């Protein structure tokens, strides 16, 4: 009959709270397999059966097996709560933070990559524009030289033709041995030479020289200066230590001197004030 009943302390009699005590399923003793565990030995920290109790657990600290079971159940529930709140919740939050960081990292990567590509496009566009300006300037200067050359050449060519005509006339007249023709031709040639200006030598320096192009060295530092760089903006935490009030319309600079003395400058009023604070944080103006 004892195995079919559960005995509790009288103070729990009539209690409807199922968690006040809990009865464990009887388990067989591992040594005396025909007997059930009946009590718990606190000294040996093990469950024992009647045979174990009479043989090796005399004068030990014993406790009702159901009480130990109830305590262990409560302890496990407490551990369950602690595992959930202290460990599992934190780890799950960390996983959530990791996933959020991963998503944010991907989004940020795409954003920065887009900025880099846009900057590349701007740089290429700017370089092409700059190159085009250089080529247009070079072409303009080349056209100026071509214009000067083109305008000077016909005049010189005409002079050459006139000189050659005179030379041909002289050669032909000399070979004819005609005294009158020789005299007339000599007179005309001398007249042309005396009336014609001396040839002016056109030195190459008269023509503007085309500029040369000297490419700059393109290295990592030069590109970084023009293109940009990756940088992490460090956030500095600022906390308010003391708050002071002043009747100055605006304050441009505050300098602390000798611990409790402040110098306040204001561009608006063009006034430099010396302020002294006392332990109660009140301000005295001088």
Dihedral over Cα of 96, 101, 102, 108: its sign: positive
- Give the neighbor-by-neighbor strand order of the sheet with 283-285: 253-257, 261-266, 271-277, 283-285
**What kind and span of H or E run contains 102?**
helix 89-176
Beta bridge partners of 276: 261, 284
CA angle at residue 89 from 88 to 94, to 5 degrees?
95
Element (DSSP H or E) covering residue 90 = helix 89-176
Which run of H or of E encompasses 62?
Answer: strand 62-64
Domains of the chain: which residue ranges? 106-227, 253-285
Cβ count near 275 (within 10 Å): 19
Residue 262 has a pLDDT of 72
Q: How far apart are CA 264 and CA 252, in angstroms?
A: 8
Predicted local confidence at residue 275, as pLDDT: 72
- Rg of the chain (C-alpha set): 56
Report pLDDT for 207.
67
E strand or H helix at 190: helix 179-195
Q: What is the pLDDT along the chain (286 residues), one digit of tens a residue?
A: 334 444 445 444 444 445 545 567 778 899 898 898 899 999 999 999 998 888 888 889 999 988 999 999 999 999 999 999 889 999 999 999 999 999 999 999 999 999 999 999 999 999 999 999 999 999 998 998 888 888 888 888 888 888 898 888 888 888 877 888 888 888 888 888 888 887 777 666 666 788 888 888 888 888 888 888 888 876 555 555 566 666 666 666 667 666 667 777 776 666 777 777 665 555 555 4
Residue-level pLDDT at 150: 83
Q: What's residue 74's pLDDT?
A: 93
List b or e across 28-62, with b for residues whose CB sees 16 or more CB atoms inside 10 angstroms: ebeeeeeeebbbbbeeeeebbbeebbeeebeeeeb
């Amino acid at each position: 009959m004892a195995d079919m009943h559960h005995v509790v302390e009288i103070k729990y009699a009539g209690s409807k709270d199922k968690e006040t005590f809990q009865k464990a399923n009887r388990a067989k003793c591992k040594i005396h397999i025909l007997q059930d565990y009946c009590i718990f030995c606190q000294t040996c920290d093990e469950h024992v059966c009647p045979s174990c109790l009479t043989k090796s657990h005399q004068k030990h600290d014993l406790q009702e097996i159901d009480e130990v079971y109830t305590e262990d159940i409560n302890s496990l529930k407490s551990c369950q709560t602690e595992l959930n709140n202290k460990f599992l919740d934190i780890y799950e939050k960390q996983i959530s933070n990791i996933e959020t960081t991963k998503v944010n990292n991907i989004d940020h990567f795409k954003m920065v990559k887009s900025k880099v590509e846009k900057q590349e496009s701007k740089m290429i566009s700017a370089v092409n524009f700059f190159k085009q300006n250089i080529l247009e300037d070079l072409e303009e200067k080349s056209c100026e030289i071509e214009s000067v050359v083109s305008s000077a050449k016909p005049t010189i060519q005409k002079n050459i033709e006139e000189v050659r005509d005179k030379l041909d006339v002289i050669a032909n007249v000399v070979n004819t041995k005609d005294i009158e023709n020789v005299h007339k031709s000599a007179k005309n040639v001398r007249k042309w030479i005396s009336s014609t200006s001396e040839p002016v030598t056109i030195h190459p320096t008269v023509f503007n020289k085309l500029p040369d192009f000297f490419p700059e060295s393109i290295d990592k530092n030069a590109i970084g200066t023009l293109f940009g760089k990756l940088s992490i903006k460090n956030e500095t935490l600022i906390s308010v230590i003391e708050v002071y009030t002043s009747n100055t319309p605006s304050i441009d600079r505050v300098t602390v001197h000798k611990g409790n003395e402040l110098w306040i400058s204001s561009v608006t009023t063009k006034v430099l004030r010396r302020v002294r604070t006392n332990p109660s944080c009140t301000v005295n103006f001088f």
